[in-house]
Chain A
Amino acid sequence: MIPLSAPSREFTQSNPVKQQGALAGLHLDLPLLSGLILLCSFGLIVLYSASDQSMVQVERQLIRLGLAFAVMVIVAQIPPQQLRYWSPWLFAIGILMLIAVLVFGHIGKGAQRWLDLGLFRFQPSELMKLAVPMMVAWFLSEARLPPDWRRLLIAALLIIIPVLMIAKQPDLGTSLLVASAGIFVLFLAGVRWRLIGSFVALLGALAPVLWYLMRDYQRQRVLTFLNPENDPLGSGYHIIQSKIAIGSGGIYGKGWLNGTQSHLDFLPESSTDFIFAVLAEEFGLAGILVLLAIYLFIILRGLYIATQAHDTYGRLLGGALTLVVFVYLFVNTGMVTGLLPVVGVPLPLVSYGGTSLVTLMAGFGILMSIHTHRKLLPT
């Protein structure tokens, strides 16, 4: 145990907290914070155009962002030790709420995702995006790493059970994100490559079974993805119009507020899931490279924070949460550009909408907490 008053030599050398001045007291990480603010600002500019210059939508998004940043700041104040202690409880609560959703959840847009808590509606699956990696990280950090097969099996169950429950709602996008969060923890924990290889092989073998389990509309999405031109006015319409928007943007784009595809409503869901296409149309490849650079910076900073974390729990959780952000980014952009099938995943911190925003920012709050509480941490 390192005494609280006497940090190790290694710690003092690489501790950036001391050099951050005013933000140090708030437990915020300046580079990460700058990246997030830059990304959100860019997002608001695009949203203004994508929403047909609706100040109302921009204001609403600003309020949500404010709320999400507040959540991030609050979470950043909680020491990782505390988070680690809460992990099993949070997971248990999450599972109970998922059961509640399945039993008497609110049905919206054909899926049962919401829990009406009187004052506000809550989406328990969002909680699981944090609770699952926290739980798995807690469970694995309890023992020596890499985990033995018995722990691995239990960890796998901890992931699969909530993922199946969410998939049953049905919410393919969220279940995918929750599953990847859990799997990243396992990956970072050092699961052997041989195991990873067999897992991938198993997934391939299970694909036909998965196909059988999928709902009709989900199957349709996969079919559409494989050949969007097959049904240009039906389910292929989204992808075709999105590709036209991106392609017609060219290198420098049509200019802000000048995107015809989005302003004339050819592009569906232009301010939410397909906002990336608006950006590509108006700002071109140049604008996209700027956006991707910001994302890359945030992800690399997150991974760096994870490597610098003081305990295994922090390292696993920080790394997994960071990589989930990338999954968001890749699944969304892959869908919009026609690389992946249509899965309802927003462009993180840019798409209009609140629920995932709060979860994402809470995740960044955890990252900041991990990074700024190091000197206080016992090992």
Chain B
Amino acid sequence: MPEPSIKDHARESRTLTHRAIISALIVVILLGTLILRLTHLQITNHDHFTTLSHENRVKLVPLPPTRGLIYDRNGVILAQNLPTHSLEITPEQVKDIDQTLAGLAQIITITEDDLNRFQRLRKQKRRFDSIPIKVHLNEKDVARFAVNRHHFPGVDIQARLLRDYPQGVATAHVVGYVARINERELKTIDTSNYAGTSHIGKTGLEKTYEDILHGKVGMRQVEVNALGRVIRILENQPPVPGKDIHLHIDAQLQAITTKAFGDKNGAAVAINPNTGGILALVSKPGYDPNLFVEGISSTAYNALQQSDDNPLFDRALRGQYPPGSTAKPFIGLAGLETNTITFNKKKFCPGFFQLPKHEHKYRDWKKHGHGLTDMEKSIEQSCDVYYYNLAHEMGIDKMSSFLSQFGFGEKTMIDLTGELPGLLPSREWKRRRRNIAWYPGETVIMGIGQGYFLTTPLQLANATATLASKGIHRTPQIVKFITHTSQSEGEIPPQTEPRQIPVIKQKNWDDMTFAMSQVVQGIRGTARNIRTKEYLIAAKTGTAQVFTVKQDEEYDEETVSEKMRDHALFIAFAPIKNPQIAVAVIVEHGGHGGSVAAPIARTIMDHYLLNDSTDKAQEQQ
């Protein structure tokens, strides 16, 4: 068949086969390139891409621990975590946010602040996160929203745990409060343990015991999809809840004490001298710590900050007052123990004291003097001249070193942050701080607890406790024990060993207790108004000058304005035979200690000694 068309056909067939083979070769080469590319991705860089894939899908979600609770000595809750309801919006599920907000505003009050916070959070969070529009919903709001819920897809009520202080004002200065972690704190805390925690202790026990209360953060490893939504949980390490702390403090006593102050300001501290446990620690006025938890509004804060009463100031720990006459038992004891004087030695009080070759008259509070006065009378009636004399004879060095044993002039090391050390003046201190020599006149006025001498109510109470326990000086302690939810046994926080003040003569201490007992039980005692049949009280009244009366002028309570009036002080312990409670009370501008401060101390002791017998017996062991 030699037709040209057939020839062509054969040639065309050959050409095509040739080209088909070339095509097949190109196909194989290109597939080879592809496989090379795949080996590059899947073998050479496999680890790299595995990491990227893992990073894509696995996210760590911190699980914040539940904060430990704070209980008083009787198991009354002082700080707890309350579920509160907040109205939250999930933007992803809402078609028209503005319309939804307008609708919500018609059934629930939404303030400008609420809106601002919502808009701010909305920028920070992801579309499927739910964002609070209104926190602290009351029951009425919850009910009102529940009825209208179907109108608001994507809006829901969420329960969150919020710190709550049921005792409010009464325990504010002791318990303190938590609030949102600020940037300064972020730099100091272990951020990994605080991942997911929004609040931190700012003051009081909440701050001091932050580590114990906070607990340990948990972690959840979750798989997320491309939108960041959690698909499943890969690993779950539950958080360790914070430990609960139980206090020596009696919440009821706090409230009663606060009430006893009436409209006066001041501080009261009650200590069990056998344990060093703080039974009451009141600084009046207090404030509502609950205001701070979700962020206090600036107007409310300014009101607290600028108030003349200074409610944010913890007078019990930071208020530094001259001890006034409440220093006399300590100085008297110093006189006895240093053999400067004997208990029964009488001195004449003409109503004033003069240093040899000096004109200046150091006046007694009683214009015409107490006449012949021994130590018992000097305490019972609070004779000033007796102590001017005694101080002068003893000298600053002996006096200062004896007083320092009671913890004056240094921090008590109580388990609560923020206390101030007060000031116990000495020759050495004056030279160091002021670079001036010590004047004899300064020794004289220190004899009645004036001059540079400053104490905090806590120091005064603790020194009284030391007096009550015949020289055993303890570190005051607020927390009694710590419990963990999973354990039934409580652990006792570390305590410093009590220190025994060297007792030269036991009788000196007993004599001083007797003299103090006369303050209440004696016929002419300055605090005889608080005498009771139930138990015997050893006490000392005091008055701290706020303003100095000029030479030859008289201080008249009626003419001096309230702000300039003296502070009233009172220290006491009871019962005398077996002291269970030591108290220090300061009433600012209260006038005389016996009439204003003593009744408050009596209220405290009554409550503790007469109502709280079970716990007391247990503690005695």
Would B24 and A300 count as touching, CB distance under 8 A? yes
- Of residues 28 through 45 on chain B, the ones whose CB sits less than 8 Å from some CB of chain A are 28, 30-31, 33-35, 37-39, 41-43, 45
Instruction: Check B41 against A247 for contact (C-beta < 8 Å).
Output: yes
Contact string against A for B residues 528-569, beta-carbon threshold 8 Å, 1 for contact and 0 otherwise: 000000000000000000000000000000000000000000
B interface, over-half SS? helix
Instruction: Kindly state the separation between the CA atoms of A264 and B56 in the bound complex, as whole angstroms.
Output: 9
Beta-carbon contact of A285 and B8 below 8 Å: no
Tell me which residues from 327 to 341 in chain A have a Cβ below 8 Å from any Cβ of chain B: 330, 333-334, 337-339
Q: Mark B2-29, 1 if CB is under 8 A from A, else 0.
A: 0000101101110111011001100110
Question: Are B49's CB and A246's CB within 8 A?
Answer: yes
Q: How many A residues touch the partner, as a band?
A: 35 or more
- When chains A and B are docked, how far (Å) is the Cα of A144 from the Cα of B23? 22
Q: Is the CB of B15 within 8 A of A146?
A: yes
A60 to B416 CA separation, bound complex (whole angstroms):
72
> Does residue A303 face the partner (Cβ distance < 8 Å to B)?
yes
A188 touches B50 (CB 8 A): no
Are the CB atoms of B52 and A248 closer together than 8 Å?
yes
In the complex, whether A250 has a CB less than 8 A from a CB of chain B is: yes
How far is A362 from B589 in the complex, measured between Cα atoms in Å? 105
Q: Of B34, B35, B226, which one neighbours A266 at CB under 8 angstroms?
A: B226
Interface residues of B in 152-188 (CB under 8 A from A): none
Interface residues of A in 202-251 (CB under 8 A from B): 241, 243-251
Would you call B225 and A330 a contact (CB within 8 A)? Answer: no
- Smallest Cβ-Cβ distance to A292: which chain B residue: B31
Q: With A187-B19, A250-B50 in contact, do A280 and B42 touch (Cβ < 8 Å)? A: yes
Also in contact, A265 and B225, with CB within 8 A (given A250-B43, A303-B23): yes
Q: In the complex, A264→B30 CA distance in Å?
A: 32
- Count, chain B residues at interface, CB 8 A: 42
- Decide yes or no whether B46 CB sits under 8 A from chain A: yes
B27 / chain A contacts, CB cutoff of 8 Å: 296, 299-300, 323, 326
Chain A residues within 8 Å of B41, by CB: 243, 246-247, 280, 337
> Which residues of B sit under 8 angstroms from A296, Cβ to Cβ?
27-28, 31
Please indicate the chain B residues that have their CB under 8 angstroms from the CB of A123 in the complex.
Answer: none
A240 to B424, CA, bound (A): 73
What residues of chain B have their CB less than 8 Å away from a CB belonging to chain A?
A: 6, 8-9, 11-13, 15-17, 19-20, 23-24, 27-28, 30-31, 33-35, 37-39, 41-43, 45-46, 48-50, 52-54, 56-57, 223-227, 231
Query: What are 14 A-B residue pairs whose CB atoms fall within 8 Å in the complex?
Result: A243-B49, A248-B52, A251-B46, A264-B56, A264-B223, A265-B226, A266-B225, A292-B31, A292-B35, A296-B31, A307-B16, A315-B16, A323-B23, A337-B38
Instruction: Please give 20 more A-B residue pairs, beta carbons under 8 A apart, in addition to A190-B15, A312-B16.
Output: A190-B16, A241-B56, A243-B41, A244-B53, A246-B38, A247-B46, A247-B48, A248-B50, A249-B42, A251-B43, A260-B53, A260-B223, A261-B53, A264-B57, A295-B31, A300-B27, A303-B24, A330-B30, A334-B34, A339-B33
8 closest Cβ pairs, A-B complex: A247-B49, A248-B53, A264-B225, A190-B15, A265-B226, A247-B41, A248-B49, A307-B17
